[in-house]
């Protein structure tokens, strides 16, 4: 039997944030960033010896076009006991997402035509600025961080990408683009800022992949 | 104009490279011709546009217009930048739409106190760990020891939109007195105390060293880690769940309640004043409007009134730009967290205790673009005003 949760409830919102992160990872690209607009409904079911299952109705927003929203239903299962198993997430989108082939291709071609590998720091900067050339780099990080958030979430965590500290393009001989990111994740419950390294692969026809990631140690004094 | 040229083969690329070599055309290639599959973007001075297009057409090379009139785009951008610098700039040269250093904020406090000296004054309520002054602006049109409203911002230093909003709000209150009926009647009956930077040491640290610093900068005995979470340090369920006992943690509660001078100074001020009727505090981010409790998940006695007032305030906030705030107690809306300021103020007897979490909901988080400062301050002010009006109209 599923119990109704208040959409305003902290726990429901943590689950929704996780689902949105996973979804963004699966469907996002440099030309498309998806962000949680609102949680419409949430139900929870405790399954003996398995874990906690949540049924969500979400509204997602396209970061490139605030007026473009898409409804989504998601099921999230947090496994009992196991700290190392990522939650299972399944989702269904109502309707189609905007086609982003052109934006993706423009970015792809721009990076491929660079003479030197791209390197950048602090995106956004302290004042929240992101230069237009860095917007797709940021969206790519947002999408890739969805993977890390998914892999590391529990019912008691709520992660957001806080900032890209550093990004370095890695030269490749094939058609993929590869970037090595050092990002900062903000975990809302503990309020910790967690540095995380991730290697991200992307190609317009092949989606985003995080091929390697590792949590970094925090500095002690600052 | 800026043209985007789509080459189909090596021959066409060579033609463009030829074009590139013709210096008299003054072409500025934003993307140079290199391989057939890649688009070529080129800025063409107005007087050469016809010639370049004629050349492309004669060679059967496909192109489209990326930017019709680049100068117009640049002029508009400059106009926008000049306009946003002029906005809200009266006799002072303080730009409310950008983030400032501590020194600049402190200078503006002095400026406001001097410009509106008949009812605005600056008080020092204590010193931070690193000996920086803790300044409060007092808004008072007279009387002696009137009932008062307390408002603070920046207790967590990385939440930059809160200090920025607070200084805008200070200016708003000062300039609206005598013009806006609601604020005028409020200040004719009550005082307002506004602490724009509750954690100056942390704030300076976010400018000089670590933009993501949250805590105070006090040294912790026996640890290399610095700082205490000032919003886990109040005497409200201190030591309970939702606060860490690890000095390296960003939610470290400190060795004891009120160990942080930044917290102690506020507590002492409020106790010594004795007539504070509302305690309002600004944080970011998440877009929440919360009332007690955080340290326990049971409802406060005044739950119904606080919830209704919270909803009314959230409604006012939404009326301006559509920004939605979720209303609820700290415990149910985010998580159980002990040692928080509004729990202390409420248990102390200050019924109208609210904590705001301002924009946004995670897209930028702490590094909210400066362009959102003024809209955030404007909408937050409507919510605060709604609460203050209720406090004014419901003396206790």
pLDDT tens digit string along B30-41? 888 877 777 888
How buried is A84 (Cβ within 10 angstroms: 0-12 exposed, 13-18 middle, 19+ buried)?
Answer: exposed
Does the annotation count B115 as an active-site position? Answer: no
- Return the pLDDT at B240: 95
Extents of the domains making up chain B: 2-68, 93-214+231-393
Lookup: tokens for B56: 């492309």
Say if CB B361 and CB A34 are below 8 A apart.
Answer: no
Nearest to A124 among B98, B214, B364 (CB): B364
Over residues B17-57, the pLDDT tens digits come to: 888 888 888 888 888 887 777 788 898 998 889 889 888 88
Give the alpha-carbon dihedral of B251, B252, B256, B259, to 10 degrees: -80
Quote the strand ranges of A124-191, DSSP E: 159-170, 177-187
Chain A environment of B365 (Cβ under 8 Å): 160-162, 186
Q: What is the 3-state secondary structure (H, E, C) of B108-177?
A: HHHHHHHHCCCCEEEEEEEECCCCCEEEEEEECCCCCCCCEEEEEECCCCCCHHHHHHHHHHHHHHHHHC
The residue range of the domain holding A11 is 2-94
- Return the pLDDT at B55: 87
Chain B environment of A191 (Cβ under 8 Å): 214, 229, 250-251
B93-214+231-393 is a CATH 3.40.630.10 domain = yes
* Residue A221 covered by a domain: no
- Return the pLDDT at B92: 61
Q: Does B369 touch chain A (CB under 8 A)?
A: yes
Q: In terms of domains, do A50 and A86 share one? A: yes
Q: Does B31 touch chain A (CB under 8 A)?
A: yes
Mean pLDDT of B134-161: 97
As a whole number of angstroms, the distance between CA B386 and CA B309 comes to 8
Give the alpha-carbon dihedral of A87, A92, A98, A101, to 10 degrees: 60
Chain A environment of B99 (Cβ under 8 Å): 126-127
Name the DSSP letter for residue A97.
Answer: P
Say if CB B218 and CB B228 are below 8 A apart.
Answer: yes
Q: Distance from A41 to chain B by nearest Cα, in Å?
A: 14
Given pLDDT bands bounded at 50, 70 and 90, which one contains residue B86? low
Q: In terms of domains, do A106 and A33 share one? A: no
For residue A81, is pLDDT > 60?
Answer: yes
Cβ-Cβ pairs closer than 8 A, A with B, add up to 102
Given pLDDT bands bounded at 50, 70 and 90, which one contains residue B339? very high
Mean pLDDT of A82-89: 87
Q: In terms of domains, do A107 and A207 share one? A: yes
Q: In terms of domains, do A128 and A170 share one? A: yes
* Residue A46 covered by a domain: yes
Mean pLDDT of B346-361: 98
* Residue A7 covered by a domain: yes
**A186 in helix, strand or coil?**
strand
Structural domain count of chain A: 2
Q: Distance from A221 to chain B by nearest Cα, in Å?
A: 5
CA proximity to B386, closest of B341, B354, B348, B351:
B354
Nearest to A184 among B212, B286, B364 (CB): B212
Q: Distance from B250 to chain A by nearest Cα, in Å?
A: 6
For residue A194, is pLDDT > 60?
Answer: yes
DSSP-assigned states of every residue in A2-70: PEEE-TTSHHHHHHHHHHHHHHHHHH-BTTB-EEEEEEEEEEEEEETTTEEEEEEEEEEEETTEEEEEE
Chain A environment of B326 (Cβ under 8 Å): 8
Are residues B369 and A124, on separate chains, in Cβ contact within 8 Å?
Answer: yes
Chain A environment of B34 (Cβ under 8 Å): 113
Interface test mutation site (partner A, options B81, B310, B326, max chain A beta carbons within 10 A): B326
Tell how far CA B232 is from the center of its chain.
21
CATH of the domain at A73: 3.10.450.10
Nearest CA in chain A to B33: A113
Are residues A162 and B209, on separate chains, in Cβ contact within 8 Å?
Answer: no
* Residue A30 covered by a domain: yes
Of A55, A72, A94, at which residue does a domain stop? A94
Of A32, A63, A94, at which residue does a domain stop? A94
Interface test mutation site (partner B, options A20, A102, A125, A128, max chain B beta carbons within 10 A): A128
Q: In terms of domains, do A90 and A194 share one? A: no
* Residue A135 covered by a domain: yes
Say if CB B279 and CB B150 are below 8 A apart.
Answer: yes
Entry field: residues in chain B = 396
Q: In terms of domains, do A90 and A116 share one? A: no
Q: Distance from B51 to chain A by nearest Cα, in Å?
A: 27
Of A62, A94, A126, at which residue does a domain stop? A94
* Residue A109 covered by a domain: yes
Interface test mutation site (partner A, options B32, B37, B212, max chain A beta carbons within 10 A): B212
Q: Distance from B274 to chain A by nearest Cα, in Å?
A: 33
Nearest to B365 among A109, A127, A162 (CB): A162
Q: In terms of domains, do A33 and A121 share one? A: no
Across chain B, what does the average pLDDT equal? 94
Are residues A218 and B248, on separate chains, in Cβ contact within 8 Å?
Answer: yes
ipTM: 0.95
Q: In terms of domains, do A89 and A72 share one? A: yes
Looking at chain B from residue 213 to 232, which residues have their Cβ under 8 Å from any Cβ of chain A?
Answer: 213-214, 224-226, 229
Mean pLDDT of A76-91: 90
Q: Looking at the domain that runs over B2-68, which CATH code has it been given?
A: 3.30.70.340
Q: In terms of domains, do A67 and A105 share one? A: no
Are residues A8 and B210, on separate chains, in Cβ contact within 8 Å?
Answer: no
Chain A environment of B31 (Cβ under 8 Å): 109-110, 113
Are residues B335 and A184, on separate chains, in Cβ contact within 8 Å?
Answer: no
Over residues B258-316, the pLDDT tens digits come to: 999 999 999 999 999 999 999 999 999 999 999 999 999 999 999 999 999 999 999 99
Q: Distance from A65 to chain B by nearest Cα, in Å?
A: 13
Q: Distance from A193 to chain B by nearest Cα, in Å?
A: 7
Q: In terms of domains, do A74 and A105 share one? A: no
Q: Which residue of the set B357, B378, B379, B389 is catalytic?
A: B357
Asked which of A30-44, B69-83, B113-127 is least confident by mean pLDDT, the reply is B69-83
Looking at chain B from residue 148 to 207, which residues have their Cβ under 8 Å from any Cβ of chain A?
Answer: 160, 205-207
Q: In terms of domains, do A126 and A169 share one? A: yes
Q: In terms of domains, do A141 and A206 share one? A: yes
Q: Does B5 touch chain A (CB under 8 A)?
A: no
- Return the pLDDT at B83: 61
B48: Cβ–Cβ under 8 A, 6 or more apart, which residues? Answer: B25, B26, B27
- Return the pLDDT at B345: 98
**A91 in helix, strand or coil?**
strand
- Return the pLDDT at B89: 46
């Amino acid at each position: 039997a599923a119990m109704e949760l208040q959409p305003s409830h902290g726990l429901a919102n943590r689950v929704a944030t996780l689902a949105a992160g996973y979804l963004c990872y699966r469907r996002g690209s440099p030309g498309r960033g998806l962000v949680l607009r609102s949680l419409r409904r949430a139900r929870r079911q405790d399954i003996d010896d398995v874990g906690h299952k949540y049924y969500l109705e979400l509204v997602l927003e396209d970061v490139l076009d605030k007026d473009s929203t898409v409804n989504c239903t998601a099921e999230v299962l947090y496994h009992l006991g196991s700290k190392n198993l990522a939650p299972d997430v399944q989702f269904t989108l109502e309707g189609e997402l905007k086609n982003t082939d052109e934006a993706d291709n423009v970015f792809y071609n721009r990076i491929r035509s660079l003479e030197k590998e791209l390197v950048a720091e602090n995106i956004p900067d302290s004042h929240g600025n992101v230069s237009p050339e860095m917007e797709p780099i940021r969206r790519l990080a947002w999408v890739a961080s969805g993977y890390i958030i998914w892999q590391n979430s529990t019912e008691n965590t709520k992660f957001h990408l806080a900032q890209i500290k550093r990004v370095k393009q890695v030269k490749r001989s094939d058609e993929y683009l590869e970037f090595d990111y050092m990002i900062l994740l903000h975990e809302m419950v503990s309020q910790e800022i967690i540095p995380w390294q991730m290697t991200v692969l992307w190609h317009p026809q092949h989606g985003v992949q995080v091929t390697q990631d590792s949590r970094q140690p925090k500095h002690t004094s600052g | 104009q800026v043209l985007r040229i789509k080459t189909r083969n090596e021959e066409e690329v060579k033609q463009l490279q030829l074009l590139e070599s013709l210096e008299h055309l003054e072409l500025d290639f934003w993307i140079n011709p290199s391989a057939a599959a890649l688009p070529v973007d080129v800025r063409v001075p107005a007087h050469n546009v016809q010639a370049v297009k004629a050349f492309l057409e004669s060679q059967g090379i496909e192109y489209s217009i990326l930017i019709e009139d680049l100068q117009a785009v640049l002029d508009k951008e400059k106009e926008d930048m000049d306009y946003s610098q002029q906005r809200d700039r009266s006799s002072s040269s303080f730009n409310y739409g950008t983030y400032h250093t501590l020194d600049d904020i402190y200078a503006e406090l002095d400026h406001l106190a001097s410009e509106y000296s008949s009812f605005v004054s600056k008080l020092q309520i204590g010193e931070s760990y690193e000996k920086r002054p803790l300044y409060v602006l007092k808004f008072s049109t007279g009387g002696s020891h009137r009932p008062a409203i307390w408002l603070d911002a920046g207790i967590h230093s990385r939440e930059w939109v809160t200090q920025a909003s607070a200084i805008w709000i200070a200016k708003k209150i000062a300039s609206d007195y005598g013009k806006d009926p609601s604020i005028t009647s409020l200040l004719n009956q009550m005082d307002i105390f506004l602490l724009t930077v509750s954690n100056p040491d942390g704030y300076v640290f976010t400018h000089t060293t670590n933009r993501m610093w949250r805590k105070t900068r006090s040294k912790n005995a026996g640890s290399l880690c610095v700082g205490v979470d000032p919003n886990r340090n109040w005497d409200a369920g201190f030591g309970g769940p939702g606060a860490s006992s690890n000095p390296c943690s960003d939610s470290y509660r400190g060795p004891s309640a009120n160990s942080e001078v930044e917290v102690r100074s506020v507590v002492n001020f409020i106790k010594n004043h004795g007539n504070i009727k509302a305690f309002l505090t600004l944080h970011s981010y998440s877009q929440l409007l919360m009332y007690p409790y955080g340290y326990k998940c049971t409802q406060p006695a005044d739950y119904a009134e606080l919830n209704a007032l919270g909803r009314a305030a959230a409604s006012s906030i939404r009326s301006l730009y559509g920004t939605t705030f979720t209303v609820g107690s700290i415990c149910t809306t985010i998580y159980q967290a002990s040692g928080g300021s509004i729990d202390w103020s409420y248990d102390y007897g200050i019924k109208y205790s609210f904590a705001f979490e301002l924009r946004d909901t995670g897209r930028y988080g702490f590094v909210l673009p400066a362009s959102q400062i003024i809209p955030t301050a404007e909408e937050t002010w409507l919510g605060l005003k709604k609460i203050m009006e209720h406090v004014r109209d419901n003396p206790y």
